[in-house]
Chains A and B, each alone.
Chain A
Amino acid sequence: MRKYSVFAIAREALRGHKGWPAQWSSPEPKASYDVVIVGAGGHGLATAYYLASEYGITNIAVLDKGWLGGGNTGRNTTIIRSNYLYDESAGIYNHAMKLWDGLSQELNYNVMYSPRGVMMLAHNVHDVQVFKRHIHANRLNGVDNQWLSPEAAKAFCPPLNIAGNARYPIMGAALQRRGGTARHDAVAWGYARGAAARGVDIIQNCEVTGIRRGADGAVAGVETARGFIGASKVGVVAAGHSTVLMDMAGVRMPLESYPLQALVSEPVKPCFPCVVMSNTVHAYISQSDKGELVIGAGTDQYTSYSQTGGLHIIQHTLDAICEMFPMFTRMKMLRSWGGIVDVTPDRSPILAKTPVKGLYVNCGWGTGGFKATPGSGHVFAHTIARDEPHPINAPFTLERFRTGRLIDEAAAAAVAH
Chain B
Amino acid sequence: MAEQPTKPDNTRIIRRLLLTVVGMFAFGFALVPLYNVFCDITGFNGRFTDGQAAANTRSVDTNRTVNVQFITRVNKGMPWGFEPEVSSVRIHPGETKVVNFLANNPTGQNMIAQAIPSVAPGEASLYLNKVECFCFNQQPLAAESKTAMPMQFYLDPDIPEHIHTVTLSYTMYDMTENATPDALAAIAQPVN
Q: Is chain B found bound to chain A in the same assembly?
A: no
Residues of B at the A interface (CB closer than 8 Å) are: none
